[in-house]
């Protein structure tokens, strides 16, 4: 079990949460001399910078934008006097890719991994009724033992630059809100649920972890605020009569109020908003509440102008409005777990989410795709780095499930994106990750991973571990694009015919397909990069999907244009967006709107 609670900060009768977002002090440390020079006691020459945000795109000089190495943040944290006697934590939504935290000069925690939260306890060292100095040492270097994978190269000047093995900009910083939290000494540490439906009722099995021995009670309220069920005990089952199920694009959330009680006194109280639904894979179908669903939507990124990968509530809202407008019902959190607020909104809006751990770049080619279709074998998981990488991978699967396990929107876990699967060592590596995921998830959701173009039915050694198969395929773009598109369709169908022999009862979905498109460019007849070609290429893919009954979903790459490392394959970023980076539609968006609004939710159900 994790050392800290993953519960999202709340204010209740027993809890206080203060959001520390704002302007913090910031300084890069190119020489990595900060620790030696005592920057933990205060930064010598800081700039002011917003938290949460990536630091890169605020700056007008290339050195700071491309900065790779150690960077520092600092702020003052006032801890109220009236909080004496409680447990006090700092909770970081994420610091990319790793952090060391100093409080009043003292190192109190380190955390590896840039996309999941962590807490540090400051009860004993906080100065109450006074300001305290919080200093965070961040680092954004990439390696083959940490997630996501990449490397660092050093320029003749001695400056380091990041070499991601993945196709998104290596944004870094304090990307998500930081909270100061006060809980009682005896508090609710964890809560999880799993659901079963019986007739018109639901049976919710729950499990509570607290830090003491007092009684636990659960009160369930419906959306009108009426109490519909009560239970006692840390573990148990709650019957909810005439349950109002959480459905795709028709959400319903109950409030589960968890209390630690000592007689009449409420010691701690925490509320979770929980949608009740089941997920089963059966006969080539993805069943939500026993009903087949066809997935329509996107692979996305947390990416926008100026704030980079920093959580931005406005961008989140706009993205959901666009997804609703276009008729989508699903997205994959490619290629890392997103900000918690995004899952909360997906719960509320009834979107299905494939939650992905940051296991991307497990194929050491620059940008993760140029070598990819060459068929080059790398035996990535046979390298001596594999055991250390796997340790980090398992830990991040654990943290992701601990954080996201109660979300109704999360119906599946994606455990890797486009890894090397051509060597026997992959199977051994994967099995452990897949088993651990099953063991940790109270709801036993389906597990999958996104298969790279060279993971073909005859060569891939890992597809059979997936509960449903997820393909990333770029026929008509990286493979046989432009005037060759006719051959692309033939090659695509040939591969699909081979899958048809293998899939058995499993459904298949597409987790990526599409092509780069300049949202300003029209061309008749089409050429690659024009909006007309994007539509032709997508239409071709859809024709193929429509002719295979076991294909149960299409998540186009990508929702919006996004920033990548610069290079000859990318014109100021990846342009496969159906929307521009500013969240305006390309022409293809209207094609999707028409298609997705006309495809029923149970499209292709047997
Ligand atoms: C992929 C990767 C994704 C890239 C995409 C592309 O297969 O999974 O991260 O951005 O291809 O556009 O090349």
Within a domain: residue 126? yes
Provide the percentage of residues in the chain whose pLDDT is more than 90.
96
Does residue 373 surpass a pLDDT of 80?
Answer: no
Domain-terminating residue out of 255, 274, 293: 274
Catalytic, out of 418, 495, 536, 554: 418
Answer whether 557 contacts ligand 1 (Cβ < 6 A): yes
CATH number at 120 reads 2.60.120.260
pLDDT of amino acid 370:
52
Indicate whether 178 and 195 sit together in one domain. Answer: no
Indicate whether 165 and 111 sit together in one domain. Answer: yes
Number of other residues whose CB lies within 10 A of the CB of residue 240: 20
pLDDT tens per residue, range 11-52: 999 999 999 999 999 999 999 999 999 999 999 999 999 999
Q: For residue 321, indicate whether it is catalytic.
A: no
Domain-terminating residue out of 129, 158, 183: 183
Does residue 368 surpass a pLDDT of 50?
Answer: no
pLDDT of amino acid 435:
98
Answer whether 576 contacts ligand 1 (Cβ < 6 A): yes
Does residue 72 surpass a pLDDT of 70?
Answer: yes
What's the domain count of the chain?
3
pLDDT tens per residue, range 183-225: 999 999 999 999 999 999 999 999 999 999 999 999 999 999 9
Does residue 496 surpass a pLDDT of 80?
Answer: yes
pLDDT of amino acid 376:
59
pLDDT of amino acid 365:
57
pLDDT tens per residue, range 386-428: 999 999 999 999 999 999 999 999 999 999 999 999 999 999 9
pLDDT of amino acid 375:
53
Q: How far is the CA of 4 from the centre of ligand 1 (A)?
A: 34
Domain-terminating residue out of 223, 241, 274: 274
pLDDT of amino acid 514:
98
For 362, half-sphere exposure in the C-beta direction (CA atoms, 13 angstrom radius) is 35
Average pLDDT over residues 105-115: 98
Banded pLDDT at 363 (limits 50, 70, 90)? confident
Indicate whether 66 and 202 sit together in one domain. Answer: no
Does residue 529 surpass a pLDDT of 60?
Answer: yes
Answer whether 561 contacts ligand 1 (Cβ < 6 A): no
What CA–CA distance (Å, rounded) separates 473 from 475? Answer: 6
Does residue 369 surpass a pLDDT of 70?
Answer: no
Answer whether 513 contacts ligand 1 (Cβ < 6 A): no
Does residue 374 surpass a pLDDT of 80?
Answer: no
Does residue 372 surpass a pLDDT of 50?
Answer: no
pLDDT tens per residue, range 450-493: 999 999 999 999 999 999 999 999 999 999 999 999 999 999 99
Residue from 360, 516, 574 whose mutation best tests the ligand 1 pocket (most atoms within 8 A of CB): 574
Within a domain: residue 4? no
Q: For residue 512, indicate whether it is catalytic.
A: yes
- Say how many Å lie between the first and final Cα of the chain, rounded: 42
Residue from 303, 370, 512, 517 whose mutation best tests the ligand 1 pocket (most atoms within 8 A of CB): 512
Domain span at residue 315? 279-352+376-410+422-447+456-468+476-598
Answer whether 574 contacts ligand 1 (Cβ < 6 A): yes
Does residue 430 surpass a pLDDT of 90?
Answer: yes
Nearest residue CA, atom 3 of ligand 1? Answer: 167
Lowest mean pLDDT segment, chosen from 68-77, 209-218, 357-366, 582-591: 357-366
Q: How far is the CA of 369 from the centre of ligand 1 (A)?
A: 7
Nearest residue CA, atom 11 of ligand 1? Answer: 369
Q: How far is the CA of 513 from the centre of ligand 1 (A)?
A: 9
Catalytic, out of 112, 144, 340, 512: 512
Q: What is the dihedral of CA 269, 275, 276, 278, to 10 degrees?
A: -130
Indicate whether 288 and 435 sit together in one domain. Answer: yes
What CA–CA distance (Å, rounded) separates 47 from 25? Answer: 6
pLDDT tens per residue, range 78-100: 999 999 999 999 999 999 999 99
Q: Which residues of 370-389 are buried (b: 16+ CB within 10 A; e: fewer)?
A: ebbeeeeeeebbeeebbeeb
Does residue 67 surpass a pLDDT of 50?
Answer: yes
Answer whether 300 contacts ligand 1 (Cβ < 6 A): no
Q: How far is the CA of 557 from the centre of ligand 1 (A)?
A: 8
Concatenating the DSSP letter of every residue in 431-473 gives HHHHHHHHHH-TT---EEEEEPTT--TTT-SSGGG-SSEEEE-
Answer whether 167 contacts ligand 1 (Cβ < 6 A): yes
pLDDT of amino acid 296:
98
């Amino acid at each position: 079990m994790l050392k800290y609670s993953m519960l999202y900060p709340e204010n209740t009768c027993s809890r206080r949460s203060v959001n520390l977002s704002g302007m913090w002090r910031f300084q890069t440390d190119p020489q990595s001399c900060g620790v030696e020079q005592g920057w933990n006691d205060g930064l010598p020459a800081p700039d002011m910078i917003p938290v949460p945000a990536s630091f890169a795109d605020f700056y007008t000089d290339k050195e700071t934008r491309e900065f790779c190495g150690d960077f520092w943040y600092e702020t003052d944290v006032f801890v109220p006097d009236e909080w004496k006697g409680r447990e006090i934590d700092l909770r970081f939504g994420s610091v990319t890719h790793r952090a060391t935290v100093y409080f009043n000069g003292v190192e109190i925690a380190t955390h590896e991994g840039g996309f999941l939260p962590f807490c540090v306890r400051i009860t004993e060292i906080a100065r109450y009724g006074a300001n305290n100095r919080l200093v965070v040492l961040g680092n954004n270097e990439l390696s083959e033992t940490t997630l996501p994978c990449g490397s660092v190269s050093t320029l003749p000047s001695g400056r380091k630059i990041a070499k991601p093995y993945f196709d998104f900009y290596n944004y870094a910083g304090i990307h998500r809100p930081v909270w100061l939290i006060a809980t009682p000494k005896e508090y609710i540490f964890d809560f999880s649920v799993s659901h079963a439906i019986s007739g018109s009722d639901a049976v919710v099995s729950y499990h509570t972890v607290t830090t003491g021995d007092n009684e636990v009670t659960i009160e369930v309220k419906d959306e009108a605020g009426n109490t519909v069920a009560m239970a006692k005990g840390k573990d148990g089952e709650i019957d909810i009569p005439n349950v109002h199920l959480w459905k795709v694009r028709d959400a319903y959330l109950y409030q589960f109020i968890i209390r630690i009680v000592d007689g009449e006194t409420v010691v701690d109280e925490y509320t979770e908003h929980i949608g009740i639904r089941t997920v089963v894979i059966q006969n080539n179908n993805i069943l939500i509440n026993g009903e087949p669903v066809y997935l329509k939507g996107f692979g996305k990124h947390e990416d926008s102008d100026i704030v980079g990968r920093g959580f931005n509530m406005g961008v989140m809202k706009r993205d959901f409005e666009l997804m609703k407008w276009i008729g989508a019902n699903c997205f994959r959190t490619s290629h890392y777990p997103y900000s918690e607020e995004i899952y909360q909104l997906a719960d509320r809006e009834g979107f299905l989410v494939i939650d992905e751990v940051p296991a991307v770049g497990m194929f050491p080619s620059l940008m993760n795709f140029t070598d990819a279709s060459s068929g080059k074998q790398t035996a990535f998981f046979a390298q001596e780095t594999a055991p250390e990488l796997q340790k980090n991978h398992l830990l991040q699967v654990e943290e992701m499930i601990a954080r996201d396990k109660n979300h109704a929107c999360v119906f599946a876990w994606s455990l890797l994106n486009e890894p090397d699967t051509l060597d026997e060592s992959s199977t051994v590596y994967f099995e452990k990750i897949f088993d651990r995921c099953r063991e940790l998830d109270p709801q036993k959701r389906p597990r999958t991973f996104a298969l790279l173009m060279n993971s073909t039915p005859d060569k891939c050694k890992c597809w059979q571990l997936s509960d449903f198969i997820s393909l990333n395929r770029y026929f008509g773009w990286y493979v046989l694009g432009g005037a060759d598109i006719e051959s692309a369709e033939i090659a695509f169908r040939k591969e699909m015919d081979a899958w048809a022999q293998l899939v058995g009862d499993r459904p298949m979905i597409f987790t990526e397909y599409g092509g780069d498109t300049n949202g300003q460019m029209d061309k008749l007849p089409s050429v690659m990069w024009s909006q007309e070609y994007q539509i032709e290429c997508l239409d071709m893919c859809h024709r193929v999907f429509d002719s295979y009954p076991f294909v149960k979903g299409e998540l186009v790459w990508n929702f919006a244009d996004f920033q990548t490392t610069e290079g000859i394959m990318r014109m100021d970023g990846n342009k496969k967006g159906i929307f521009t980076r500013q969240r305006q539609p390309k022409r293809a968006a209207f094609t999707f709107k028409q298609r997705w609004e006309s495809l029923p939710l149970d499209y292709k159900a047997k």
